[in-house]
Amino acid sequence: MAHKSTVCTAIPYVNSVPHIGNILTDLSGDVTARYLRLRGHDVFFQVGTDENGLKIKEAAEAQGRDPYEFVAEISKRFQDIFDATKISYDDFIRTTSDRHVRASQALFSKLQENGHIYSGLYEGWYDVSTETFFREEDLVDGKSPDGNEVRWVSEENFFFRLSAFEEALKDHIEANPSFIRPNNRRNEVISFINQGLRDICITRKNPGWGIPVPGRDDLVIYVWFDALINYIASTGWPDAPDWDTKWPATVQWVGKDILTRFHATLWPAMLLGAGLPLFDTVVAHGWVLLGGDKMSKTKGNVVRPLELADALAERTSISQEIAVDALRHYLTATMSLENDSQFTYEDFDLRYNADLANDLGNALNRSLSIAHKFGFSTVPDVAPEAEAVQAIQEAKQAFAVAMADYEIARASSAAFGLIRFLGKYIDSRAPWALAKNNDPELAAVITSTLHVMRAAEGLVRPLLPSTADALATQLGVEPTSHWDQIGDPASLPAGTALKNPQPIFPRLEIEKKAPEPKAPKEPKPAKQDKPKVEETLTEITIDDFAKVKFRVARIVEAEAIEGADKLYKLQVMIGEEKRQIVSGIRKDYTPEDLIGRQIIVVVNLKPVKLRGVDSNGMLLAATDENGGAILLQPDREAPEGAPVK
Ligand code: MSP
């Protein structure tokens, strides 16, 4: 029977704007769920929205809206974003739904029955924006430690005996080193518990919004207390006969801000108090920062996932699905569990070009175009070479090890490492040279490149589902549906008809920043003002011209040559062949400007050494009024290595 796994994600407040920070929690859950499904697990993946906060009611009222309609509308907006970003949830739970209300009240009653809830006077400070209680001594300059406004609250309320679970929690955390991940956060939780856990007020005066306390309609359940219950409500607890096939959760994904006080202490204590099993692990990811600050609606510094994807789709003419994968790639490749990550639009573009347009795009294009070029329109009937088989197995292993630790960025790096291996493999096995010499090893090299690509399709699938589909289509195979297929020769049978390569990620033209304004210069001599065509031209015939062979090439590496401040050592791909060219364009272009760009190269110049470095060709550039280079490039993406006439 399939292994059952449950993946839970923290549910966003509906008064917030869905941004790439809170989508990270759901995306992490999604990659985990997709990976576990690929491993053959029977996965239950929960997402949802947190709707009972007082601030949500206030936000609705501020707009003169009915709160139920208001939350339904915003919850739907989140759901639409989850759908568009391919969050493959099995359940979307809303905390205003009947099933959640029922579970929250049942859990409250259970804890009451078990003696973990008592009544008393609550006096203290309440931060409405994070729905958190604070003591006087917690405040900083009269505000919450996060700098939010607080209100004085004095009410007869119910308390949860959190303090009673201190030892049990400590014991559990100690006995289960992977209960809280990553390790630095686990240590933070341990020191928080060591300072002593205080009982927590779990009700508020009923403001006409929220889940009524069973038998006490004048009170509602504290929103964090009810929100945490969503995880078990989602499994169908307490009524559904099969709820215990979905609980305990295998993994709970949260952002670092809601780990210590809520998911690593209060939530497990509630479960212990109710006699319910604890989840296996809670993983906290770092924040996505924008301009050095946590992305948040309150600060107004948010990047909206679909706006970012749609803008990319427009700039590159890719579909929204593929643009969403570019966003998924950015977030998964740069996310960190231990630290925060900084989002910049510039990095987003650079990563698109470097990892997707260049590495993944070239890998696909080269493997398919080499096969077709050397007469293999179907997968050859020979085994792949040991080097390729080993690279696939190593990447697969590294991916699995990373995912076992929920280190998604490391898993992404294992998949992209395999894609980069392919480039090096093709360069070192030089199939064009094997073809020239009619070397029988050519077929094995072609098979190897295709098998590496097939394995890469399987590995990127949990991360970039639409891209993986496009890769499978071009390789002429069904999508990888089980982990065991990755690296299995049977997953790409001999005779499979290969499609012609189609670019999935066309390169993004990154606008150059406006140059720094320069000090006004002395007027230049007239002859430099307007570049003129030489007057004494030597005529050549068409035959002379035909001797010069031009081809479209793509720059894949650019490295400054030490001691030569004008020169770059470039590696360019001319079709499937890689060449080194030395070029004097360093003053005009940075390596980032160059990598991935298509250019025009003269390919039959006699090789020379420039500053001791071999140069096997020359690129074409126009000259600006100061003698600087303006690279010539095709007007639109040209087929790799296309002849220029
Ligand atoms: N509603 C609570 C969670 C209740 S779970 C029982 C909440 N909502 S939230 O909308 O503020 O955050 C939703 C998720 O997004 C949380 O995991 C939170 O940590 C995460 N993030 C919110 N802003 C974030 C960033 N800027 N960066 C990364 N994650 C962030 O908390």
Instruction: Look at residues 429, 457, 491 and tell me which one is the last residue of a structural domain.
Output: 491
Task: Please provide residue 594's backbone torsions phi and psi, each rounded to the nearest 5 degrees.
Answer: -90, -40
Q: Are 45 and 137 in the same domain? A: yes
Q: Could you tell me the pLDDT band of residue 237, with boundaries at 50, 70 and 90?
A: very high
| Residue 160: per-residue pLDDT | 98
Q: How far is the CA of 282 from the centre of ligand 1 (A)?
A: 14
Nearest Cα residue to atom 24 of ligand 1: 21
Per-residue pLDDT, 98: 97
- Confidence (pLDDT) at 227: 98
Distance 229 CA to ligand 1 centre (A): 16
Average pLDDT score, the chain: 91
Where would I find the H helices in 267-407?
267-274, 305-316, 320-334, 345-351, 361-373, 386-404
Kindly report the CATH number assigned to the domain that includes residue 220: 3.40.50.620
Considering only residues 627 and 482, tell me which one the structure prediction assigns the higher pLDDT.
482
63 and 173 in a single domain? The answer is: yes
Q: In the predicted model, what is the mean pLDDT of residues 552-574?
A: 87
Looking at the domain assignment, is residue 522 inside a domain?
no
Residue at a domain's end among 457, 491, 525: 491
In a domain, 163, yes or no: yes
Question: Is residue 313 one of the residues assigned to a domain?
Answer: no
Both 211 and 125 in a single domain?
yes
Does 520 have pLDDT greater than 70? no
Contact 382, 592 (CB under 8 A): no
Are the CB atoms for 367 and 453 separated by under 8 Å?
yes
CB within 8 A of 406, min separation 6: which ones? 28, 32, 181, 251, 253, 281, 283, 337
Measured from the CB, is residue 28 less than 6 Å from ligand 1?
no
Query: What per-residue confidence (pLDDT) applies to 535?
Result: 44
More confident residue, 443 or 296: 443
On whether both 345 and 290 belong to a single domain, the answer is no
Distance 272 CA to ligand 1 centre (A): 24
- Distance separating alpha carbons of residues 205 and 157, to the nearest angstrom: 8
Same domain, 353 and 449: yes
- Can you spell out the DSSP letters for 606-622? PPEEETTEEE--EE-EE
DSSP H or E segment with residue 107: helix 98-113
Whole-angstrom distance, CA of residue 170 vs CA of residue 586 = 59
Determine whether the shortest distance from the Cβ of 44 to ligand 1 is under 6 A.
Answer: no
Q: Is the CB of 294 under 6 A from ligand 1?
A: yes
In a domain, 300, yes or no: no
8, 19, 24, 252, best to mutate for ligand 1 pocket (most atoms within 8 Å of CB): 24
Question: Lowest-confidence range among 8-22, 428-442, 448-462?
Answer: 8-22
* Spatial CA neighbour of 12 closest among 59, 48, 63: 48
- Identify the residue whose C-alpha is closest to ligand 1 atom 5: 10
Residue type, 452: V
Report CA(609)–ligand 1 centroid distance (Å): 57
Question: Are the CB atoms for 26 and 87 separated by under 8 Å?
Answer: yes
pLDDT digit string, tens, across residues 6-36: 999 999 999 877 899 989 999 999 999 999 9
Ligand 1 near 340 CB (within 6 A): no
The percent of residues above 90 in pLDDT, for the chain, comes to: 73
Residues 67 and 131 in one domain: yes
CA 121, CA 117: separation in Å to the nearest integer?
A: 13
Q: Are residues 273 and 373 in the same domain?
A: no
The residue with greater pLDDT, 62 or 511, is 62
User: How far is it, in rounded angstroms, from Cα 508 to Cα 192?
Assistant: 47
Amino acid at 393: Q
CB distance 593 to 628 below 8 Å:
no
Please tell me what DSSP assigns to residue 503: -
Q: Give the DSSP letter of residue 143.
A: B
Q: What is the predicted pLDDT for the residue at 542?
A: 81
**Residue 461 falls inside a structural domain:** yes
Distance 10 CA to ligand 1 centre (A): 7
- pLDDT band with cut points at 50, 70 and 90 for residue 518: very low
For 287, list phi and psi in degrees, rounded to 5: -85, 155
Which bin fits 439, alpha (ψ -120 to 50), beta or left (φ > 0)?
A: beta
Cα 396 to ligand 1 centroid, rounded to whole Å = 31
Same domain, 469 and 603: no
Q: Average pLDDT of 447-464?
A: 98
Q: Is 227 in the pocket of ligand 1 (CB under 6 A)?
A: yes
At 106-163, the pLDDT tens digits run 999 999 999 999 999 988 898 888 878 888 888 999 999 889 999 998 889 999 999 9
Check residue 388 and report its DSSP letter: H
Residue 165, pLDDT score = 98
In angstroms, the CA 408 to CA 413 distance is 9
Tokens 């809601």, residue located? 258
Question: What does the alpha-carbon distance between residue 417 and residue 392 come to, in Å, rounded to a whole number?
Answer: 10
**Ligand 1 centre and the CA of 8: distance in Å?**
13
pLDDT tier for residue 174 given thresholds of 50, 70 and 90: very high
Write the single-letter amino acid at 150. V
Give the chain's largest Cα–Cα span.
102
Instruction: Using alpha carbons, list the distances in angstroms from residue 209 to 36, 54, 67, 212.
Output: 38, 7, 8, 9
Please check the confidence at residue 516 and state whether its pLDDT lies above 70: no
Which among 240, 273, 294 is the end of a domain? 294
Residue 582: is its pLDDT beyond 70? yes
Do 431 and 367 form a contact (C-beta atoms < 8 A)?
Answer: no
**CA nearest neighbour of 328 among 35, 27, 80, 25:** 27
Which residue did the predictor score with more confidence, 177 or 609?
177
CB 255 less than 6 A from any atom of ligand 1: yes
Give the distance (Å) from ligand 1 centre to CA of residue 16.
Answer: 10
Question: Do 279 and 417 have their domain in common?
Answer: no
Q: What integer pLDDT is reported at residue 636 of this predicted model?
A: 67
Q: Which atom of ligand 1 is nearest to the CA of 230?
A: 6
Q: In angstroms, rounded to a whole number, what is the distance separating the alpha carbons of residues 47 and 25? A: 10
Q: How far apart are CA 31 and CA 332, in angstroms?
A: 9
Q: What is the pLDDT of residues 240-293, one digit of tens each?
A: 999 999 999 999 999 999 999 999 999 999 999 999 999 999 999 999 999 888
Mean pLDDT of 406-427: 97
- Residue 585: inside a domain, yes or no? yes
Q: Could you tell me if 473 and 547 lie in one domain? A: no
What is the torsional sign of CA 97, 101, 106, 108?
positive
Q: Which of 143-147, 350-354, 531-535, 610-614 has the highest mean pLDDT?
A: 350-354
> Measured from the CB, is residue 302 less than 6 Å from ligand 1?
no
CA of 12 to the centre of ligand 1 (A): 6
In the chain, how many domains are there?
3
Residue 257, ligand 1, Cβ within 6 A: yes
Measured CA to CA in angstroms, residue 128 lies from 317, 343, 460 at distances of 44, 28, 41
57 lies in the same domain as 199:
yes
Q: Give the mean model confidence (pLDDT) for residues 475-482.
A: 98
pLDDT at 554 over 60: yes
- Kindly state if the Cβ of 10 falls inside 6 Å of ligand 1: yes
* pLDDT given at position 210: 96
CA atoms within 13 A on the CB side of 72: 6
Residues 365 and 232 in one domain: no
64-103 confidence digits (pLDDT tens): 999 999 999 999 999 999 999 999 999 999 999 999 999 9
Whether the link from the prior residue into 248 is cis, omega within 30° of 0, is: yes
Q: What is the dihedral of CA 361, 367, 372, 378, to 10 degrees?
A: -120
Task: State the burial class of residue 237 (Cβ atoms within 10 Å of its Cβ: 0-12, 13-18, 19+).
Answer: buried
Tell the burial category of 308 from Cβ atoms under 10 Å away from its Cβ (0-12, 13-18, 19+).
Answer: buried
Residue 299 has pLDDT above 80, yes or no: no
pLDDT at 357 over 60: yes
Residue 328 CA to residue 569 CA, distance in Å, equals 33
Q: Which residues of 572-584 are buried (b: 16+ CB within 10 A; e: fewer)?
A: bbbbbbbbbbbbb
Inter-axis angle of helices 267-274 and 223-233, nearest 10: 60
Structure-token pair, residue 207: 């403001």
Q: Whose CA is nearest to atom 9 of ligand 1?
A: 12
Percent of the chain with pLDDT over 70: 95
- Top-ranked range on mean pLDDT: pick from 127-141, 272-286, 501-515, 530-544: 272-286
In this prediction, residue 449 carries a pLDDT of 98
Answer whether 50 contacts ligand 1 (Cβ < 6 A): yes
In DSSP notation, 546-582 reads: HHS-EEEEEEEEEEEPTT-TT-EEEEEEETTEEEEEE
Least confidently predicted of 120-124, 342-346, 436-440: 120-124
Pairing mode, strands 281-285 and 180-181: parallel
CATH number of the domain within which 458 lies: 1.10.730.10
Q: What is the CATH number of the domain that holds 591?
A: 2.40.50.140
pLDDT tops 50 at residue 566: yes
Residue 569 pLDDT > 60? yes
Band of residue 531 on the pLDDT scale cut at 50, 70, 90: very low
Range of the domain at 563: 542-644
Least reliable range by pLDDT among 37-51, 302-316, 366-380, 622-636: 622-636
Query: Could you tell me if the CB of 25 is within 6 A of ligand 1?
Result: yes
Which residue is listed with tokens 């160059």? 594
pLDDT of 437 > 90? The answer is yes
